[in-house]
Each structure stands twice: as C-alpha cells, then as structure tokens.
Structure 1
C-alpha cells in the first residue's frame, strides 16, 4: 500500500447505528439487561430509557431543544447517563464537563462552551460540586434562579440532583408537575448529521479546545469498534475513564449502548476496591490506563481475587498466562485522539499479541470510516516507509472545533493534521514515532504547556514560566515547570504547586517544579529556550510534587 491509506473510500460497514435515539431503540429488545453497575447502584437499559425520556420531556417543556448547549457535571454514575441521554435523544448539544476542574477552570469551560443549561450533581466523592460552581462564578451566590452573569452570558439555569437549597438553582426538570410527552416526536427529527457533543481537551494554544462530534461520527465509531472487538451483551466492561472524556464516552458508554454490555464504574479509582468490584461483578473487559493496571497488579489482593472472567482489554496481568505477550512491545496498540472520537487505528486481531514482524505497529485504519496520509514538512505526501506528519479525514473525524472556522481546522481537501508523526509499512500498518507538537500526554490525558504557563504566569510574583514534558516510566510523560520569580519576589515550589492546583485539573498540575533565575535557564545560541536542556535540568534539579 502507498503512504495514503484509503480505507474511508469504501462505504461504511452495513448495519451501524447513526444516532443516540437509534441506539436506545435497539436496546429495547433486551430491556432488562444491566447498563451500569457501581458499588451503590444498578441501572438497567429499560430504566435508563424511561428515566431519560421523562427528563427529556421536561427539558423540552422548559425550552431546551435542537442545538441547546446542555452541560453535564456528574461523576460516573447513573444520573450522568440519564442526564446525557435525555439531552442527546432530543438533539441538544451535550457539553460533558470535567469533575477534575477546579473553580477557575470550570468557569472557563462554562464560558468557552456557551453552556446554557447545567445539569449537575451535588458532589463527587468528598468534593462539593455545588460550592465549586458557586465559587467559580462570582455573583452567582448573591442572585436567584434567574441567572444573568457577564462571566457566563449564556447560562440561564442550573439544575442540581438531588435538589439543594441554593437560591440560584432551579428545581430538577419535571419535579414540579407533569409535562407533555414530546420526546418521541423530537427524536424523529434527530439526524446522524446533528451535532451530539462538545468534548473539551487541551489544545496546543493557551486555551483548551472543544471538539464537536455528530451523532453519526461518534455512534458509528463506537459501534464499529465494539463489533471489531467482539463486544456482546454478555460483556461487562470496567473502566475508570471519566464519561466526560472521549475515551469514556466512545469506548465505554457508547459501546455499551451499541451492544447491550454492562458498564462497571466507580466514583474514584482505588485498586483494592476495584479488584473487589471486578471479582464480584465478573468483569470481562478491563479498559484503563497503564498506571491503574499496574496499581491493581501490585496490590496485595490481586493474587487473591478470581479474575478468570476477564477475556480482554488493557490489563494484561489479569489474562491467563498463555494469553499474555512475552514482550511488552508486542502488545497491540491503538492510536487515537479526541478529534477522531477515540482510536483511528485498530489491531487486526483484538486482545492478542502482535506478530514479531509487526513489532511497534499501532494497527491499521478503521475500515470504511477513516483515511490516513503521511506528509512532509511542506505538506507534500510522503512515499511509503518515510516518516512524516499523520493526517486524517473520514466519517469518524470531528465536525469541527468550536469557535474556529473550517479553514482554521482542516485543509482545503478536508484533511486534519493530528500533530502526530509516523509512517506506514508495506502491509498498511501505522508506526507511531512521536508528537510533532509540544502537547504533553500524561497517563492518557492531554496537557497544553501553554495553558499551564498562562496559569503560572498569572501567579503574583511570577515573571514567567516554562512548561515541558518529562518522561515517566508509568504515565509516559508528566508535567515539569521552571518558574522565574519577578525581581525581589520570593517563591517556593510548594506555593507554585498550590496555585496550580487551585486553577487547573489535577493531571495538569506540574509534578516537577524548579524556581530558577533567568540566568539559570538553558538557552540556545539563537537566544531561544533550550527545551531539551530544560528537560534535563528539571529531571536532575526539580522538586517533585505528587
């Protein structure tokens, strides 16, 4: 095969669903199947269908409709699924919000996504989400339910479940009386081309970017991956990935809806409690990051737990010895990103070691849904076997980036530059060679150095800061920061870490910090910062904050 992989020139595989309403209709053939199981609750598909329909009727009655931006702020729980399904099935544009985001970051997300209606829970674990929202939006606590704040000009209502006594909240939709049952009619107007979700991820600029996906792109993507992996209604999928990230939404929520598989979830990952859940609920597929898998494998209860039900996923330690790859680099990999709704490559035989001749491969393009090409620095298509920038287009690709024009995101032929580098071998397998941008990938999460730098630079006493990726044996990369104090200012790494925690999600907070004078920064002969030199300096002289 040549450098351009033309899988998306073929028609999409037949029988794939095209919208959330269609997924729900398919699940009615086995309504009693379990959709979600946590340590505290169980939710069947029939219950999710009925409860989300009731909420959808109430949302329609309150003025929510096609394209209304509905924020969802819950932990991984039944109410997240019910709220998201209610909004999605009537054509609203869902905005899953990060429960990791502290007040300042949450305020930025609400403003950037132009969220109009917020459906939220009261807490996650021991953290009070209601207080976090109030602290994030000065003036909110002083007003009533008729919200009108310059900081979030489109936000009109906040609904909290279970109800709370804050004056600025509005009763949960439908709790004040019956409404007209219009959901069925609204669902008939939801099309695969309608935008389904805004998933916010770190960009390479200072602000995060919100990626828009249609019903068709995300639902078909999830269904094809589930079909390829052989996921069925008998499967029970465990994952600690938040539903508000594309991995949790595509690889967990939508795959369960596509197949009738059950989701096993928890508010907070704790290896001992998770192992107990996996054994009790007979998990069949484990989908988690490397450090979570390792934490469970290292836990003293690991050897005591019966995990014989596990047949695949990312936790190789749980598989029978004869099915574990003898060498880590023969483990199948998938390459993906938020802009492609998750993986845009797949391994030919799921959950099995790669053959030796495919060592280092990241799989082949998803058939019928995505097309790849490799280009050089001038944008010219590279010959087979030559390393270059990976570009993608096709049916799984996002519809766009919110608040960016089409030409800012895609080139004239519809290609999107992933920011990754790689090459295709003669059998059409993609080999990933690294990031072309400065984006930090830590334990599966994207971190923009520019975003972290903008937060650190706003700290009193900071002249400027520099953020780089540092290698980590388990997380892949962690965030490192060099901070230069303003003249006469006294800074400590503890104070810098505390400021970052107050303004950034935990995974974005620098793990290694150094306070340096400008004269101590490594510089290139051109007068620019030597970023590789800074990586070496932080690795040897930075103080760790974990």
Structure 2
C-alpha cells in the first residue's frame, strides 16, 4: 500500500503515466509529468536548503502549479504549510510565526493581495523565516539525490500543517503525518464515490483540508483526475464541467444550486455527472428525498470527513438526517459536556474522536493539552449516536445557548429554516439572550417568522430577523467559517 506521497506518485506514474492528474482552466498535467516535474522541483528546493522536516509555506490559488509544488515538497519529506489566499497581513504573519515557517512560496498578487509585500516589513518578527520565493520564478534542477532523500520518508513523518480557526485565541496549526492523512482520505473514498475513473470537480481551496485532502490527495490516492479553477463563476464553471466531462461534483451545496439556476441559460451539457454529485446538478430522477443521503462530516483535526455513507445511496429510514457512520480508523464517543462521562445512545453530548487517522497534534501545544488521558480529541462538536451507530450532528458546544432555560442548537434551527420555500440559507446565533437569524431570502421578517412557527417549538423560533440578498452578505473568517461575532453585530444593527 502506498503510504507516502512519493510512493503514490511513483506508483501512478508507472501505471497511468498518460492519464491527466490535475486540470485547471489554462493547463493540465499527467501522472507521468507530475512525477518528472516534481522530481526537478524537489531537487531545486533541496539545492536551496530545503530538507526533510523543513517547514515551507505555500500561498497561491488553486491551479496545477499548486499541486506540483505541494507534491515536490512532500516527496522529500518537507512539511507543507498551505496558507489561505484570504489572509490579511497580520493574519499571515501570525500563521507563519505559529508554524515556524522557514521558507515561503507565494504568488506575487491575487485578488488585491500582495503577499510578498505583506511579509517583507515583518521579517524581523519572523525569526524562523529564511527565504521568500516568488512562485513564478521557481527553478527546476536535475539531481538524482532526490530519490535517495525521498526514500527516507516514512508514514510517521509530518506531511502538513493545516490551519483551522478556533472560536478565539491564536491560529491553530494542525499537524498531520503522511500515514494519518492518507489513511483518513483513503477511508472516505468509497463514501464520496471516488475511484480511478472519476473526473472530480472541487471548488474548495487547496489551502483548506477540504481542498487538499478531499481534492488533491483523493485524486492522487484513487488515480483519478482532479478539475479545478482559481475563481469559480457560474458560466465559466459550467463550461469547465462540460469541457472536461466531469463525472463527480463535490463541494458546497449553495454553489451547486447557483450553477443549477444558470444551466439552462448557459446551455451546458452536464450529462457526464453521475450519482454522488451534489444533487442540484443532477436530473430530478436521480435526486434523493430530503435527508436520505448522509451529510459527510469531518474537521481539519481528522483531515476531512470521518463520518459518512455512500453519497449515491439512501441510508436506512431511521438514519435520515444523519452524517452516516464513522469510517474505519476513527472511534467516536459522545460524552456529557459537563463531566466528560460517556452518555447513552440517543443522548446529545460532545463528540470525541481517536484513532490512527486523527491528527498528530497542534503547533505549540502539548499532547496533554490536546488529548484526553485515554487519547480522545474533544472536538467541541455536539452530536448523538443512534443504536445502529449513525451519528447526528447538533452544532458546536460553544454555539449552543439557552432561552428561558431551554437549550437551543443553532444547527437545528438553521436546518428547519432552510426548508422554507424561498430561503436559500440561514445562520442562527444568540443575540442578547434571544434567537437571531440572518436568512438569505427575499421574504420579509414577518413571513419568515410565521413559517418558522410551523416548524419549530416556540422557544426555538427566532425573534430577531435579518433577511439578506445573497451569501456575499454573510461575514466569514479567512478559513471560510462564519464569523459569529460579526453575525451577532449585524443582527443588533438590524
């Protein structure tokens, strides 16, 4: 079994040299080309001082070159640190410091950000940082010593540091090894319907685990073809899906719905899409009933989904609305949020996970700070397991709140609001002791309130409403997660 990036690249180059590995709007590379190009890139990195264990930051949008650089670094055991293209200068500097990044590769400019200029004035505050390289000027070198270095990399060596946002505090840099990350991705391939024949489109940025794990590494493990683009837009995305005969569209449901609304006007042929894709883009006769298919569930600390069910198959009726079952390599338990003791099946509590596919640790935190005494990671997520082992998600422990002594789970209210005709999205939080909701809809607050009363217990019905026109109005952090504090401020200001 291929258990390092180098082994995977060698295997597919030998077996599928002419098969496209990754395609963007302007270029593409085959598995054979990936092997050759990344050997030469890796040799250049070695010549510049990068070695096994060296931490290298990478900040650039989705493209073929991102994959080439990431693969070149990880083949020789360097630690990849993907960085968000959304980061503002103080955020970028903070992440470089937390991860002790030694070398940084960046595009000169993307969507108004000038990363090389952002870092230059802060070099004195980044003692670990040795060199900053322009991605457009990276050399390539032929050097046979790269093979010898790659041969020393083992599954236990660190593959990447992936950043995720916590509710507060400094950036959280999550450490993953080759073995745990590849194991996590491999365990979910079947649930995501990815195999060697798949032509996968994924809009998620590669700097998130959803893009790196569920996109780049999923394709590399399965021997599939990954199709991506820097800036998804409905018309260009639809044309890309048609041109590349994409068979599997994974990503955000709201993007799929937006594309579906444009399909007729663009007249794009999406007949190559198969079940397992987000359903808004599939013919009506291939769509499941609401709740019948699992909502894949995971986090950066588990290197993506750790719970699911085949995306093209209905779950048993009793499991509708669930996230499916935990994958091999992950053990899940539900504990009381107050004392940490396990609760009975059917009871809501905090989700804790452990197993060989869980992260190795968090930057600048001890093992004892991160894991329980018996090795579980407290996720901060709320959920329950039914008697058949299906897991249901109930939001974040730090998001739940009480109204008149009764507990409100924002995710439960959001799910109910999204069933209202005319609602394209809903985001629920506490506002000064009341339930507040920012809703993407053309409906007024009165109509939304009346519809919510038909779906929710009285104490769960929002009393503070803010309808907005599109998802662009929803405040988000650099990781893409909703900024709850900003959401609360929006609701207060009306």
TM beyond 0.5: yes
Going from structure 1 to structure 2, the CA distance change for 1:265 and 1:433 (only over 3 Å counts) comes to: same
**1:221 is matched with which residue: 168, 171, 184?**
184
**1:401 is matched with which residue: 362, 375, 393?**
362
The equivalent of 2:88 in structure 1 is: 102
Residues in 2 aligned to 1:100 and 1:20: alpha-carbon distance in whole angstroms: 27
Give the C-alpha shift of residue 66 in structure 1.
1.4
Going from structure 1 to structure 2, the CA distance change for 1:231 and 1:290 (only over 3 Å counts) comes to: closer
Give the C-alpha shift of residue 389 in structure 1.
1.0
Question: Is the contact between residue 174 and residue 301 of structure 2 (CA under 8 Å) also seen in structure 1?
Answer: yes
Residues in 2 aligned to 1:286 and 1:334: alpha-carbon distance in whole angstroms: 14
Residues in 2 aligned to 1:182 and 1:478: alpha-carbon distance in whole angstroms: 55
Are 1:542 and 2:485 matched, yes or no?
Answer: no
Going from structure 1 to structure 2, the CA distance change for 1:239 and 1:478 (only over 3 Å counts) comes to: farther
TM-score, normalised with respect to structure 2? 0.81
Going from structure 1 to structure 2, the CA distance change for 1:413 and 1:475 (only over 3 Å counts) comes to: farther
108-117 vs 236-245, which deviates more? 108-117
Going from structure 1 to structure 2, the CA distance change for 1:53 and 1:362 (only over 3 Å counts) comes to: same
Residues in 1 aligned to 2:427 and 2:202: alpha-carbon distance in whole angstroms: 21
The C-alpha deviation readout for 1:260-296, integer Å capped at 9, x for no partner, is: 2111111101011111111111111111112211211
**1:325 is matched with which residue: 260, 279, 288?**
288
The equivalent of 1:452 in structure 2 is: none
**2:60 is matched with which residue: 55, 74, 78?**
74
427-436 vs 353-362, which deviates more? 353-362
The equivalent of 1:185 in structure 2 is: 148
**1:410 is matched with which residue: 358, 366, 371?**
371
Give the C-alpha shift of residue 247 in structure 1.
0.7
The C-alpha deviation readout for 1:397-431, integer Å capped at 9, x for no partner, is: 00001110000000111000111111111111111
Give the C-alpha shift of residue 314 in structure 1.
4.6
Going from structure 1 to structure 2, the CA distance change for 1:288 and 1:330 (only over 3 Å counts) comes to: same
Q: Pairwise mapping of residues 45-56 of structure 1 onto structure 2 (< 5 A)? A: 45-56=31-42
Give the C-alpha shift of residue 334 in structure 1.
1.4
Are 1:477 and 2:427 matched, yes or no?
Answer: yes
The equivalent of 1:236 in structure 2 is: 199
Question: Is the contact between residue 106 and residue 133 of structure 2 (CA under 8 Å) also seen in structure 1?
Answer: yes
Residues in 2 aligned to 1:311 and 1:138: alpha-carbon distance in whole angstroms: 50
Question: Is the contact between residue 352 and residue 377 of structure 2 (CA under 8 Å) also seen in structure 1?
Answer: yes
Residues in 1 aligned to 2:91 and 2:33: alpha-carbon distance in whole angstroms: 34
Q: Pairwise mapping of residues 288-303 of structure 1 onto structure 2 (< 5 A)? A: 288-299=251-262, 301=264
Give the C-alpha shift of residue 359 in structure 1.
1.7
The equivalent of 2:478 in structure 1 is: 505
Give the structure, 1 or 2, with the largest relative contact order (CA under 8 Å, sep 6 or more): 1
Question: Is the contact between residue 275 and residue 302 of structure 1 (CA under 8 Å) also seen in structure 2?
Answer: no
Question: Is the contact between residue 186 and residue 221 of structure 2 (CA under 8 Å) also seen in structure 1?
Answer: yes
Q: Pairwise mapping of residues 241-280 of structure 1 onto structure 2 (< 5 A)? A: 241-280=204-243
The C-alpha deviation readout for 1:491-544, integer Å capped at 9, x for no partner, is: xxxxxxxxx99x963946869969xxxxxxxxxxxxxxxxxxxx5x853x535x
Question: Is the contact between residue 175 and residue 361 of structure 2 (CA under 8 Å) also seen in structure 1?
Answer: yes
Question: Is the contact between residue 275 and residue 286 of structure 2 (CA under 8 Å) also seen in structure 1?
Answer: no
Q: Pairwise mapping of residues 348-363 of structure 1 onto structure 2 (< 5 A)? A: 349-363=310-324
Give the C-alpha shift of residue 365 in structure 1.
1.1
Question: Is the contact between residue 181 and residue 303 of structure 2 (CA under 8 Å) also seen in structure 1?
Answer: yes
Q: Pairwise mapping of residues 110-509 of structure 1 onto structure 2 (< 5 A)? A: 110-124=96-110, 126-127=111-112, 129=113, 131-138=114-121, 149-163=123-137, 172-174=138-140, 178=141, 180-299=143-262, 301=264, 304-326=267-289, 328-347=290-309, 349-367=310-328, 369-376=329-336, 377-438=338-399, 473=418, 474=424, 477=427, 505=478, 507=480
Going from structure 1 to structure 2, the CA distance change for 1:215 and 1:320 (only over 3 Å counts) comes to: same
Going from structure 1 to structure 2, the CA distance change for 1:511 and 1:366 (only over 3 Å counts) comes to: closer
Instruction: Quote the RMSD (CA, aligned, Å).
Output: 2.8
Give the C-alpha shift of residue 104 in structure 1.
2.0
**Which sections of structure 1, spanning at least 5 residues, go unmatched?**
1-14, 140-148, 164-171, 440-467, 483-499, 515-534
Going from structure 1 to structure 2, the CA distance change for 1:314 and 1:300 (only over 3 Å counts) comes to: closer
Going from structure 1 to structure 2, the CA distance change for 1:191 and 1:421 (only over 3 Å counts) comes to: same
Residues in 2 aligned to 1:159 and 1:323: alpha-carbon distance in whole angstroms: 48
The C-alpha deviation readout for 1:341-363, integer Å capped at 9, x for no partner, is: 0111121x332233322122111
The equivalent of 1:444 in structure 2 is: none
Residues in 1 aligned to 2:479 and 2:210: alpha-carbon distance in whole angstroms: 18
Question: Is the contact between residue 117 and residue 156 of structure 1 (CA under 8 Å) also seen in structure 2?
Answer: yes
Residues in 1 aligned to 2:359 and 2:265: alpha-carbon distance in whole angstroms: 40
Give the C-alpha shift of residue 319 in structure 1.
1.9
Question: Is the contact between residue 160 and residue 176 of structure 2 (CA under 8 Å) also seen in structure 1?
Answer: yes
The C-alpha deviation readout for 1:316-355, integer Å capped at 9, x for no partner, is: 02223222013x22232111000000111121x3322333
Residues in 2 aligned to 1:394 and 1:123: alpha-carbon distance in whole angstroms: 40
Residues in 2 aligned to 1:513 and 1:184: alpha-carbon distance in whole angstroms: 50
301-310 vs 388-397, which deviates more? 301-310
